[in-house]
Chains A and B, each alone.
Chain A
Amino acid sequence: MMDILNILLSESFWAASLRIATPLIFGVLGALLCEKSGVLNLGIEGIFVAGAMSGWMAVWLGAGLWGGVLVAAGAGAFFGLIHALLTVPLGLSQHVSGLGVTLFATSVSYFTYRTALPNVSSPPRIEPFRALDVPVLSDIPFLGPVLFQQTALTWLALLMVVVIWYVLYRTPLGVAIQAVGDNPDSVDAQGLSVYGLRIGAVVAGSALMALGGAFLTMSAFDAFFFGMVNGRGWICIALVIFASWRPGKALLGALLFGAFDALQVRLQTEVGAVIPSQAFLAAPYVLSIFALVVAARRADYPRALLSPWFKGQR
């Protein structure tokens, strides 16, 4: 018990929690934006892979770190556009189209990586984002190491929480996006484009998801591995429901998740001899299912989620 308390009070634990939460923050925000407009985006897992691979490869080819971030966002937007076109104007099954995008984005990324690097035994490394060492602030006890020694991408993720919240709740555009996910007919009646709003939300959301992938190869690690996304996208889909489609709660959910994951890694070294390591490995997925079960009935679903809308047809 003392051990757990010691872990919970340590700076490195909270710093790790925020680091682990970062890709999930991007992913949850992206999924939230798509779903707010009424479109479930199961392409998220593949878009994570595409963001991780394309961002890494851009840096490896010499684009610079922020160039890599832009490339990753662009790749995410591209695959998001495919999903948006299939599900919005064509009104196809969002489940199947999303899975199709995941398969497509994953196989495009793997094929491209293998074609560019046919015979490498160890994956080539890039110089990843460094921790920002903010002069005075990072010397604050506790808060300094936790908040001010993270990389720029973590800060971007936290900034995006505020941006997405502000856009959704404080701008006409955000009100329109929410309306199109609740009652597209009313949006159409106001002369706004249902298709335009939904496609835009899905493309922007997918770009955000891809940044989650880019964080993995450009900040958490410095190389691309097959299978490195490992279900993080699906976890984000569960977290959005847990967060009941609120950006603030989404941040909270991702942080809780990060804290839990950081805790299990530390506990594993403490009690690893008693409990098989696989129990710890499975914990994040079990936790996601649990969160989903707890939140599912109370969640405030966008009312038009999953329902296609056709112009001139009610």
Chain B
Amino acid sequence: MIRIEPRSAPSRALTLGIPVLSALIALVLAAVPLAFAGANISTAYVEMFRGVFGSTFAFTEMLTRATPLIFTGLAAALAFRARLWNIGAEGQLYLGAMAAVAVGAGFLDVPAIVLVPTIILCGCAAGAAGMVASTALKTRFGADEVVTTLLLNFIILIFLQYMLEGPLQDPMGLGWPQSAPILDQGMLPPLMERMRVHSGLIIALVCAVVAQFMLTRSVWGFKLRAVGENAAAARHAGIPVNRTMMSVAIVSGALAGMAGVSEVAGLKGYLTADLSPGFGYTGIVVAMLAGLSPVGVVISALFIASVFVGADSMSRAMGVSSYLADLVVAMSLLCVLIGGFFARFRLARVAPAKGEVA
């Protein structure tokens, strides 16, 4: 007989080791679809590795790809810690991006020192508003935020199409559904010459460190964790559960909105309806892979970005579908879920004597 029993306290090695191991297993499992596609497996892995570490350009591309994932990963990690299921980062990202071009593409013609913070503030506020709406429906009417955030993603995307064909459309854009470009002084400055990596990355790293500090060292973080671990007990202890939820919603939505700001004002310059290839959804995988730890989010975002950039370059070189990257990302989520189980529980043989049975 094999029985599942909880571990008293998961060891540090396990909590750190399991995500790493899960990610590696997912990478190894990529060999199955590669074989299915008829590709030479060892060449494919070499190509993937070269696509990330082969040149300075490749590496900075990976960092560029990781930037929005750190933001959406943080958005998911903080919300999930409070058991607020924000699956709407994709929509909130677009709200942030829309706000960024609304104020940054000529509406305000002010020096960079004013314009950049204004763009960031408006983007974060727009993203936060998206999540606040869903959270209010949850606290007021008991409507499940998973469903409302998911459905809002579709509504926001449709709203985006409307804005890009109407109020936000670039008058000089020859009728393409795209916004006018953000003014030069409104752009987040690049970090390296002739590379696309931009200072959004620095903001993302600062956000991660601040989030880690707030979560583990502040009263707000304590309330957040208390609500996430046991809302009923938290309420009993006098913690204002709904208000805490709302504050988490604001922070989480703002971070997702910041992902949109960073993509539009750091990278693209203007807004189109394909700004994000699912950064919002991938952020959930990033957060889970990080064990919902803000600093861990940085590392797992780097990993997921490497998978995307590496697989992209491999698929160009070898003609394998680039959906391979999405497959590896999905498999790492499933692997880390299973891994997380073994961190919290162990399989024990039910023996007459109760001892250490591995």
A193–chain B nearest beta-carbon distance, Å: 15
Closest to B335 in A: A100
* Chain B 144-165 per-residue mask, 1 if CB under 8 angstroms from chain A, else 0: 1011101111110011011000
Let me know if B329 and A103 touch, CB within 8 A: yes
Let me know if B154 and A312 touch, CB within 8 A: no
Known: A99-B87, A115-B36. A285 touches B327 (CB 8 A): no
Interface positions of B from 284 to 343, Cβ below 8 Å from A: 284-285, 288, 319-321, 323-324, 326-327, 329-331, 333-334, 337-338, 340-341
Let me know if A238 and B147 touch, CB within 8 A: yes
- Interface residue total, chain B, C-beta cutoff 8 A: 46
Where chain A touches its partner, the secondary structure class is: helix
For the complex, is A86 an interface residue (Cβ under 8 Å from B)?
A: yes
Residues of B within 8 A of A82 (CB): 334
* Chain B 17-41 per-residue mask, 1 if CB under 8 angstroms from chain A, else 0: 0000000000000000100110000
- A238→B161 CA distance, assembly (Å): 24
Segment touching A, from B56-64, B135-143, B192-200? B135-143
For the complex, is A231 an interface residue (Cβ under 8 Å from B)?
A: yes
Known: A86-B334, A238-B151. A289 touches B146 (CB 8 A): no
Interface size class of A (residues with CB under 8 A): 35 or more
Let me know if B154 and A114 touch, CB within 8 A: no
Residues of A within 8 A of B153 (CB): 231
Let me know if A111 and B159 touch, CB within 8 A: no
Let me know if A235 and B337 touch, CB within 8 A: no
Let me know if B154 and A285 touch, CB within 8 A: yes
Closest to B328 in A: A107
Known: A90-B341, A288-B151. A42 touches B146 (CB 8 A): yes
Closest to A235 in B: B151
Residues of A within 8 A of B147 (CB): 234, 237-238, 241, 288-289, 292
The 7 closest A-B pairs by CB, nearest first: A114-B321, A103-B330, A107-B326, A278-B162, A104-B330, A111-B323, A107-B327
A-B contact pairs, 10 of them (CB 8 A): A92-B340, A93-B337, A106-B330, A110-B321, A111-B321, A115-B36, A234-B150, A288-B151, A292-B137, A296-B142
Q: B residues bordering A, Cβ < 8 Å?
A: 3-4, 33, 36-37, 85, 87, 137, 141-144, 146-148, 150-155, 158-159, 161-162, 166, 281, 284-285, 288, 319-321, 323-324, 326-327, 329-331, 333-334, 337-338, 340-341
Q: A residues bordering B, Cβ < 8 Å?
A: 42, 82, 86, 89-93, 95-97, 99-101, 103-104, 106-108, 110-112, 114-115, 118, 230-231, 234-235, 237-238, 241, 276, 278-279, 281-282, 285-286, 288-289, 292-293, 296-297, 310-312
